[in-house]
Chains A and B, each alone.
Chain A
């Protein structure tokens, strides 16, 4: 509720919008290392997009170009034809960051759950930033690689745990089979 009052105020005063955009950006891990001036440079290349309730932001299997940060509103991330809900994201959350590095197909769909305002950060703009302002580009790239490395680490751990569990289950199955034969 207090959030709503705050946002209602935003559209009256331009400075408040700016400050809030910065607090939103500052919370995003990708932009964590950036100072005020650098964030302003990033702000210049962000695209602010508005979505109505139930409007599709991107669809699964379409080529992805970049990530979105939720300035305010809620977004459903879904998979499959039946739109199975994976997660509900809200203010300050971000999604689609993999597309910044890997220009492949989107692995899930994103749909606005209510009136939503997003900040889009896209690969071509990241490339331009890396060319014209490598310092900022490096900081962002480093954070991005950190996020991916962290995910890889978690994935490996999970993989290891699953393999161990699989081994246990397999040996249990074999002992069961042996028991039956005897």
Chain B
């Protein structure tokens, strides 16, 4: 009888503790996102630090050198891009004021009528239809601006966290592993190693691929004199993580932007061609070199991961969704395999 009571008490306590942990995690979820992003970045940078260590530097010196180099790159990017970016954002806001919108929609309407002969005689009434969309867009832009406040703290905290994770990450990992009970210790070590091998290539590959596509898109759109080329390029780079839909959506956004501003069919053709070439370069040159095929996520998984990420953590959640889904997949598969090999299940 007594044992039943104490057992019941134990269960109640465990459930209460679990609830407390879940509540705490959800309460500090924005901090967790920061930590996850920092850990991802530190993980991506780790081979560079290891390489510098191999060249005979200490881990601390290696980390400092990487940070100096990264600081240089970020400074250069901002030096060149911030004027362009701020110009883009202000002109985007002006564009939403409505002075030029009707003209823009007339442009698009006539373009559609020209290209699709079936619609020639019909009244499209695009402007009224899209007015709602614009309203929504303006609202979500406002939401993004509100999101910029925590973004500012992230800009300070993330590099700080990345620095220490890169410098002390291995010791932290060792300390964490030392907490694992003896029975599961070797299995955990084995698991971490296997996950590391698979994920390392995958995450670094994804990051590199997105960066290359983003830079190529920004370059191409800049040459073609497409407005908002920086924003679209960044979007195209990030969207490229999503198979099939991703590369396509980057191109679609660019083409719509061209329609909004110029409305010339030739321009649209050039932009489409540029994206086609970028995709060819990506598929033939970049992806075979940088992407590890070991983590194959189904497109549907990716899309749902992005939706879920967005629901829980907003914009940043959507960004982290694809790598997070990869981590979850590899870890759970390897954990299951390891547990079976060690006769735990």
Contact = CB atoms under 8 A, between A and B. Distances in A.
Contacts of B50: 128, 131-132
A84 interface: no
28 contacts: A44-B171, A45-B174, A47-B177, A47-B178, A47-B185, A49-B182, A49-B185, A56-B183, A57-B182, A58-B186, A62-B186, A63-B342, A65-B190, A65-B193, A66-B189, A123-B193, A124-B190, A124-B192, A124-B193, A124-B196, A127-B193, A128-B50, A131-B50, A131-B54, A132-B50, A132-B53, A133-B53, A134-B54
Interface string B171-205: 10010011000110110011011001000000000
B187 to A, nearest CB: 8
B341 interface: yes
Contacts of A63: 186, 190, 341-342
B193 A48 contact: no
Interface centre among A58, A120, A132, by most chain B C-beta atoms within 10 angstroms, is A132
Interface in B83-106: none
A68 to B, nearest CB: 10
Given A47-B177, A58-B186, 13 more contacts: A47-B178, A47-B189, A49-B182, A49-B185, A57-B182, A63-B190, A64-B186, A65-B186, A65-B190, A120-B185, A124-B189, A133-B54, A134-B54
B344 to A, nearest CB: 10
Contacts of A49: 178, 182, 185
Interface in A96-137: 120, 122-124, 127-128, 131-134
Contacts of B342: 62-63
Which secondary structure dominates chain B's binding surface?
helix
Interface string B6-38: 000000000000000000000000000000000
Interface in B291-345: 341-343
A94 B97 CA distance: 76
Contacts of A64: 186
A22 interface: no
A52 to B, nearest CB: 9
Interface centre among B53, B178, B193, B343, by most chain A C-beta atoms within 10 angstroms, is B193
Nearest to B188: A65
